[in-house]
Chain A
């Protein structure tokens, strides 16, 4: 018997202890059968495969976007700008599905070197990057004293304690669309912000292009970092530790991400807050008016993990063992409830009428958002039941 009660308890051990406590209380004899251990192991493996595939797809789309951004900065026209915007929208689709891998100190957001803040930080310090209404000389783009390169941007943005405010998807979004000052449409940055000489708008077009390509490069690096962290061939990568951990611990991480993303992050911090503040631009993809896709794909990501299934960019599908399969062995009713609930959340997210900022100010739109919040809260509550049920039914290894 080993000693749980040491002074330095890592989170995992604490959770095992908690698991033991719950077990002491009310464990069910039928729960410690061998077959569920096999199911759990298969689920962990599928999860890791999906994580890797979705980060690979995110990298693929970001690489395509990088090419489109380069084409636009080399030949700025309305067509190249639109192609770049389309590439940005496409790049968000696989990435948003990875957000359920957050919140458990995994590679994406562990406190030491997780790049989440550099990839997806919000809100954006627009005036820290480029001109804004009210200050036409604002930002690093218009400050020739600042060298624009990855090292400088990273160090500048670490100041003041947040990991980042001026890199990642939303920085690229801002540099493509500009501020969203329109009541009904997205931002309307003219392509001529990148034209030098005749027909140009704004100042420092070359520096703006350099900034854009620099943050695009950084995004590729950070996505590559995530792909590497989930590389099955690298014994020193995070994935090896993840797969060799107790299945209780892997489950704890997976469910923590699902629970926090469902209720706290999507339902609470994003939807509830936008509805509550009533600020039109208090939405995550405010420049492009793409916020409704954020909701849909975040929920899709939870569904992927729940079902153990992920539709890849190349048309193939990863299909393995999901959290649902593990739950179904213990409580098929609860599994069914979650099947229905996550699908309902997804349907309600799809029922939002874009743009999201208009949903915020109409009565019908607010009702649709409210319904989605309620569904996500129900989804969170059910996932919490799963969380506590597993603490009950997974035996602590001797």
Chain B
């Protein structure tokens, strides 16, 4: 049989293929490297041709190495603007290289350990299947509400992807929720955490007295839903330096049909879209030290970009921890983030958040039947946690495209990478071996940055002010349109695509935005193409 690597080399330049020659070397590397199971638990990286691979497994594993080095050598010069080997696999060995398209986000980590598969699939089931009203025969799955935003995680994170705001005023809110609070923050004393062990006494927002911490537009039978939210947009017109006009949508929210009396006069409101949930275990596995090194609270380096950690309360450890998850980095772990979402969004209690969250103004909510105490056991919460931690980031299929690489250079030129920090090697401490020691490409620093008045929600949470938001990871962003059939970005989904999202950047990112505005159209397109290639 012909040496497989020879075939590969020859075909990389085959004239019949519709691939630009400049795309070929990198694409070879990403197309061909693949896990292959040889025996129960052994996995090797192989040329991606299963039936060939089965025939010459080990030989190929060795033969591929020089070619990978070859493609590495071809990317000379600075990292920015050139192809960096491995960047086509943003999740390292966890990266999904199989089903893409609408299924791009549904796969487990490619290196998932056999013993974690049952946990992953159980978690998948509890993430996807709707919760039902108690009591029901499916005892593990009842306890919905009494007040809720959605019946399942997947209702908002559809196909493990991203939610969007309603596109018509009468459309219900799903995939977008409104956080509520009144002016101020609960006691916040970093030096004396033991002073108040109440889970809501560490600098969190103060709940709206009658409606709680978020608006829940749905309810089970016999309990009035809280209210009906609507979003309306005002168009804002602007022009790029080259004269091309653009339009942005500025949202305002109205809340009507209030079932539990008027809202507090100092109401604060923060809209939050459901983000895609891939790669969360990898983000959790980034060494805290590496992230804190990126902090520059006082902007000592004078680049106009600071970056601060959000220190938040870990309800399991009963200690202050670095916030990593949520639009304001308000949650320290995937576990706490998941439990908080079960509690606030679906009305499912856990040992982390054992209360249903009914306010004194909501007696029907308080007396509704429970699905158990807690409704989601620690055992099942662990499964959902493992599931979300091991959902794989999809491979990049245009990583070595010339336009994309030009866009990558512009991304760095515009200082986007100062906050959207491209790459890390994860630590070795995670309890999931799959996410340890992986070279990953999330494009985030997980820190808070002042994004300016235009994006401010005027609502403080822990260390985050109203105008501060966590840098969201950009990986997988190009797949959202295919997976979720929309292109809405930013914390409230106001931006229609990447360009609008960039144009909303202010505060520390004002300079980057202006740089983008001043670019010629073809440069802007290249930059957007790069971000959409992630």
- Chain A residues with CB under 8 Å of chain B are 1-2, 4-5, 7-12, 14-15, 17-18, 20-29, 103-105, 111, 121-128, 132-135, 138-139, 143, 159-162, 165, 179-181, 252, 256, 259-260, 264, 267-270, 272-273, 275-277, 279, 281-282, 286-287, 330-331, 333-334, 377, 381, 384-385, 387-389, 392, 395-396, 398
Instruction: Please judge, given known A-B contacts A133-B135, A134-B369, A276-B122, whether A387 and B49 are in contact too, CB under 8 Å.
Output: no
- Is the Cβ of A159 less than 8 Å from the Cβ of B218? yes
Q: Residues of A contacting B24 with CB < 8 Å? A: 24
Q: Residues of A contacting B137 with CB < 8 Å? A: 123, 126, 179-181, 281, 286-287
Bound form: Cα–Cα A268–B129 in Å = 13
Residue in B49, B118, B138, B369 whose CB lies within 8 Å of A28: B49
Bound form: Cα–Cα A8–B525 in Å = 13
Residue in B19, B50, B482 whose CB lies within 8 Å of A20: B19
- Chain B residues with CB under 8 Å of chain A are 4, 7-8, 11-12, 14, 16-19, 24, 27-28, 30-32, 34, 37, 47-52, 98-103, 106, 117-122, 124-126, 128-130, 132-141, 144, 148-152, 155-156, 158, 172, 174, 218, 221, 369, 380, 383, 397-398, 401, 403, 481-482, 485, 525, 528-529, 532
- Is the Cβ of A264 less than 8 Å from the Cβ of B106? yes
- Is the Cβ of B156 less than 8 Å from the Cβ of A276? no
Instruction: Please judge, given known A-B contacts A14-B482, A132-B136, A381-B37, whether A25 and B12 are in contact too, CB under 8 Å.
Output: yes
Between-chain CB contacts (< 8 Å), 26 pairs: A7-B528, A14-B100, A15-B101, A20-B18, A23-B31, A25-B47, A27-B7, A123-B130, A123-B141, A124-B132, A125-B132, A127-B136, A134-B135, A134-B369, A161-B152, A161-B155, A161-B156, A165-B151, A181-B137, A264-B121, A276-B121, A277-B140, A282-B138, A282-B139, A287-B137, A389-B50
- Is the Cβ of A25 less than 8 Å from the Cβ of B11? yes
- Is the Cβ of B50 less than 8 Å from the Cβ of A388? yes
Other A-B contacts than A29-B7, A267-B121, 7 sampled, CB-CB below 8 A, are: A26-B47, A127-B221, A134-B369, A160-B218, A161-B174, A279-B138, A388-B49
- Is the Cβ of B151 less than 8 Å from the Cβ of A18? no
Residue in A21, A132, A159, A269 whose CB lies within 8 Å of B19: A21
Tell me the minimal C-beta distance from A256 to chain B in angstroms. Answer: 6
Which residue from chain B places its CB closest to the CB of A123 in the assembled complex?
A: B138
Bound form: Cα–Cα A286–B100 in Å = 34
- Is the Cβ of B48 less than 8 Å from the Cβ of A388? yes
Q: Residues of B contacting A180 with CB < 8 Å? A: 137
Residue in A11, A161, A277 whose CB lies within 8 Å of B102: A11
Q: Residues of B contacting A287 with CB < 8 Å? A: 137
Residue in B129, B156, B158, B172 whose CB lies within 8 Å of A111: B158
Tell me the minimal C-beta distance from B67 to chain A in angstroms. Answer: 10
Across the A-B interface, give the 6 residue pairs with the lowest CB-CB distance, nearest first: A11-B101, A268-B121, A161-B155, A21-B31, A25-B32, A25-B31
Q: Residues of B contacting A134 with CB < 8 Å? A: 135, 369
Bound form: Cα–Cα A122–B152 in Å = 12
Q: Residues of A contacting B47 with CB < 8 Å? A: 25-26
Bound form: Cα–Cα A104–B14 in Å = 31
Which residue from chain B places its CB closest to the CB of A112 in the assembled complex?
A: B485
Q: Residues of A contacting B141 with CB < 8 Å? A: 123, 282
Q: Residues of B contacting A122 with CB < 8 Å? A: 129
- Is the Cβ of B151 less than 8 Å from the Cβ of A334? no
- Is the Cβ of A10 less than 8 Å from the Cβ of B482? yes
- Is the Cβ of A256 less than 8 Å from the Cβ of B151? no
Bound form: Cα–Cα A346–B128 in Å = 26
Bound form: Cα–Cα A277–B28 in Å = 43
Q: Residues of A contacting B98 with CB < 8 Å? A: 384, 387-388
Bound form: Cα–Cα A377–B49 in Å = 20
Q: Residues of A contacting B532 with CB < 8 Å? A: 7
- Is the Cβ of A277 less than 8 Å from the Cβ of B19? no
Q: Residues of A contacting B120 with CB < 8 Å? A: 268
Bound form: Cα–Cα A282–B142 in Å = 11
Q: Residues of B contacting A1 with CB < 8 Å? A: 18
Instruction: Please judge, given known A-B contacts A14-B100, A122-B129, whether A138 and B221 are in contact too, CB under 8 Å.
Output: yes
Q: Residues of A contacting B150 with CB < 8 Å? A: 160-162
- Is the Cβ of A276 less than 8 Å from the Cβ of B138? no
Tell me the minimal C-beta distance from A176 to chain B in angstroms. Answer: 14
Tell me the minimal C-beta distance from B86 to chain A in angstroms. Answer: 16
Tell me the minimal C-beta distance from B30 to chain A in angstroms. Answer: 7
Which residue from chain A places its CB closest to the CB of B478 in the assembled complex?
A: A9
- Is the Cβ of A385 less than 8 Å from the Cβ of B398? no
- Is the Cβ of B34 less than 8 Å from the Cβ of A388? yes
Instruction: Please judge, given known A-B contacts A5-B403, A127-B134, A161-B150, whether A24 and B103 are in contact too, CB under 8 Å.
Output: no
- Is the Cβ of A385 less than 8 Å from the Cβ of B51? yes
Interface centre among A25, A123, A180, by most chain B C-beta atoms within 10 angstroms, is A25
Instruction: Please judge, given known A-B contacts A22-B31, A126-B136, whether A27 and B14 are in contact too, CB under 8 Å.
Output: yes
Instruction: Please judge, given known A-B contacts A160-B150, A395-B16, whether A21 and B27 are in contact too, CB under 8 Å.
Output: yes
- Is the Cβ of B100 less than 8 Å from the Cβ of A18? yes
- Is the Cβ of B100 less than 8 Å from the Cβ of A272? no
Tell me the minimal C-beta distance from A89 to chain B in angstroms. Answer: 18
- Is the Cβ of A26 less than 8 Å from the Cβ of B48? yes
Tell me the minimal C-beta distance from A27 to chain B in angstroms. Answer: 5
Tell me the minimal C-beta distance from A288 to chain B in angstroms. Answer: 12
Bound form: Cα–Cα A392–B34 in Å = 13
- Is the Cβ of A396 less than 8 Å from the Cβ of B18? yes
- Is the Cβ of B100 less than 8 Å from the Cβ of A11? yes
Q: Residues of B contacting A160 with CB < 8 Å? A: 148, 150-151, 155, 218
Bound form: Cα–Cα A381–B485 in Å = 29
- Is the Cβ of A256 less than 8 Å from the Cβ of B135? no
Q: Residues of A contacting B17 with CB < 8 Å? A: 20, 23-24, 396
Tell me the minimal C-beta distance from B92 to chain A in angstroms. Answer: 19
Residue in A7, A28, A272, A392 whose CB lies within 8 Å of B529: A7
Bound form: Cα–Cα A275–B118 in Å = 9
- Is the Cβ of B481 less than 8 Å from the Cβ of A276? no
- Is the Cβ of B125 less than 8 Å from the Cβ of A273? yes
Bound form: Cα–Cα A385–B34 in Å = 11
- Is the Cβ of A28 less than 8 Å from the Cβ of B101? no
Q: Residues of A contacting B31 with CB < 8 Å? A: 18, 21-26
- Is the Cβ of A334 less than 8 Å from the Cβ of B51? yes
Bound form: Cα–Cα A296–B197 in Å = 53
Tell me the minimal C-beta distance from A24 to chain B in angstroms. Answer: 5
- Is the Cβ of A128 less than 8 Å from the Cβ of B133? yes
Bound form: Cα–Cα A27–B47 in Å = 11
